[in-house]
Chains A and B, each alone.
Chain A
Amino acid sequence: MKVLLVDDERELVSAMAERLTIRGIEADWVSTGSEALELADRETYDVAVLDVKMPVMSGLELMKEMERKNPDLKFIFLTGHGSEKDFQTYMAEEGTSFYLVKPIRIEELIAKIHAALGMKE
């Protein structure tokens, strides 16, 4: 299982990745959409954890790009408050099981990752 974490808050995303790694989940992190796409070309991930609101490329835009490269990739979103307009539309379509409101509990994130993969399988 390999997870890619993308958030413009480097301090946050690095700590999060390290905590996943400690728990035995292989996790890489980047802080922009372009870095994420670059990395996704080289590596194959099972799950991408994306911040919804990021400069230059938003989480949803990034999702579309990454989905094109790897249709099997699963996504989990991190949001500050969940009221971003595009994201609301997405939530309305997909339900509420694919996002977490920051600050998160690492166990919740792991549970979501498992759930995302389990659903897929």
Chain B
Amino acid sequence: MSLFPKIKPAFWDIGYREAGPYRHSLRFRRMWYLVVILTASVSIGPLIAMAFFDYNVTRTAAESEIILRTARLVSNTRRTVTFFLVEGQFALDFVVRDNTYEQLSDRYRLAAILGSLKKTFGGFTDLGVIDSKGLQLSYVGPYVLEGVFYDDQAWFHEVVKRGKYISEVFLGYRHVPHMIVAVKQPLPDGSFFILRATVDTERFNYLLSHLEVDGFGDAYIINRHGILQTPSRSHGNILEKMSLEVPPYSPKTQVYETRSPDGLPLLVGYAYIEETNSILMIVKQKDALMKPWYDTRKFIIVFLVVGITIILIVILGVTTFLVNKTFQADEKRVMALHQVEYEAKLASIGRLAAGVAHEINNPLAIINEKAGLIKDLFNYTQNYQADEKLIGLLDSILSSVERCSRITRRLLGFARHFDLSVQRIDLAEIIDDVLGFLKKEAEYRGIQVHIHIDADVPNIESDRGKLQQILLNLINNSFAAMDDGGTLEVKAQTSPGYRATIRISDNGCGIPEANLNRIFEPFFSTKKESGGTGLGLSITYGLVQELGGEITVQSEAGKGTAFTIILPVRLAVKERPIQ
């Protein structure tokens, strides 16, 4: 079952009538839509715009921040790595300048220098002197490499050509990853010799692996072919090809975004290390870096959704409330208009009836007197006293006159009520009066009318016309609800609190429970197709209120309806004090 029928405001189904005496002055549903759309757009629109703007600014700031941090880390690390490599080269340069070829060819001297280098610089594993033909003349270190020829090694030709050299990492004879640093020193005879040292890559690895790289980052060095020179956590093993593309040459530090082979977004910072073939790479996972931003984004979205929801609820609630109030006010206006017209109509009918009744009354009185006189003459002169037929005819005339006179009195009484206000009323008499109007209909339709009036019911002070109208409306409704042969019961009794109760019940079709609490609403009618205005009970309710009373209804569909009116015995008419 849908929720909407339960929360639907009263004005929702009211159609707009372009013309007619009781049309509403506003289109409430359209008004509701307009107010909701306008209010929502001026309040939610800027909120969304602000949130969107803030979202973009914050995201751009977060991205710039991580790019900047990565670039700074790459620059600093490059400086450290470059310093580490070049410092070894400077040390060797110092050694060849400070020692002659002969001194360096002496193994003891060479061993002493290696010892000093290990102590001062660290990272040196061995030291060797190679002549211009590539023969290692002397060597100190953990291996036996004296007399080895290096003329077939690429690095030898490089150092011959460039004078100094820092190698990439390679396995060499020992099948251990290492790198070498070599410097060439010319000799007076025009030839040269080379001083070569093996540099321990462990220290290098240690330096890179202990970098504090956020975002599950990875710092390593590759050569220009993408071969890993130092171990990497997630982009391949040492001396294997890196899983990412080799970035293009740039003299400056660069940061770019890419994706890993398995699709993870990555932020890559790199720098080409001068004097070497190495490239320093720092690779971070973008999602991890952006996590604070993702948290902020989640907060912005939740804030926006909650904010919009609250604004919408408030707008819908306030608009519905206000439009409903306006609708109710308009409903009252229309009803008041209707009531005025209804009363004016009744009053004019009343006046017409009174005029007719008054005009008829005199001739009726004459007929009455003349027929009475004839009867008197018959009776007193005794001429026709025994003529039962004549006497019967006269009695018939007299009883018809009596009937007519009852009708004219009732009509006169009905008219009079529009002029008079509060008076003492005998409930039995007024009930009888009202039922008099419907007596014929009751007879034709075989409706039984039972009246029970408790002996102790006091006369009440009230407005006779209004009370008559209340009773007439209710009894008329009962008649409309009943099939032919139904039963109407009118009871009057005293109630506690100096009040009198009139109960009008029928065994008609009854009112469904769903309609029961709406029947006193103006324009609520189940008989609209057959010309009902939906105002009868609403006006009745208003009249009972005016008389200081209460009206309640009990009903069961198919079984019948009972209206109970409780009226004060004395009507307290409130008067405004004269200022």
Contact = CB atoms under 8 A, between A and B. Distances in A.
A-B complex is real: yes
B369 A80 contact: no
A103 B361 contact: yes
A15 B369 CA distance: 6
Interface residues of B, number: 25
Given A81-B358, A81-B412, A83-B412, A22 B380 contact: yes
Interface string A81-101: 111000000000000000001
Chain A's interface size range is 10 to 19
A61 interface: no
Contacts of A12: 362, 365-366, 369
Given A19-B376, A22-B376, A81-B361, A103 B416 contact: no
A103 B364 contact: yes
A82 B415 CA distance: 12
A103 B357 contact: no
A16 interface: yes
A83 B369 contact: no
B369 A16 contact: yes
Given A9-B366, A15-B366, A80 B372 contact: no
Chief secondary structure at chain B's binding surface: helix
A104 interface: yes
Considering residues A9, A16, A22, A80, which has the most beta carbons from chain B within 10 angstroms of its beta carbon?
A80
Given A12-B365, A81-B412, A103 B370 contact: no
Contacts of A15: 366, 369-370, 372-373
Contacts of A121: none
Nearest to B373: A15
Nearest to A20: B376
Contact of B373 (A18, A80, A102): A18
A30 B364 CA distance: 20
A106 interface: yes
Interface of B: 354, 357-358, 361-362, 364-370, 372-373, 376-377, 380, 401-402, 405, 409, 412, 415-416, 419
Contacts of B419: 83
Contact of B362 (A18, A19, A23, A80): A80
Nearest to A79: B361
A19 B373 CA distance: 6
A104 B412 CA distance: 16
A43 interface: no
Residue of A15, A19, A80, A103 contacting most chain B CB atoms (<10 Å)? A103
A110 to B, nearest CB: 12
A90 to B, nearest CB: 16
Q: Give the top 6 A-B pairs by smallest Cβ distance, nearest first.
A: A15-B369, A103-B368, A103-B365, A81-B412, A102-B365, A15-B373
A83 B369 CA distance: 23
Contacts of B412: 81-83
A38 interface: no
20 contacts: A11-B366, A12-B365, A12-B369, A15-B366, A15-B372, A19-B369, A19-B372, A19-B376, A22-B380, A80-B362, A81-B357, A81-B361, A83-B415, A102-B364, A103-B361, A103-B401, A103-B405, A104-B365, A104-B368, A106-B372
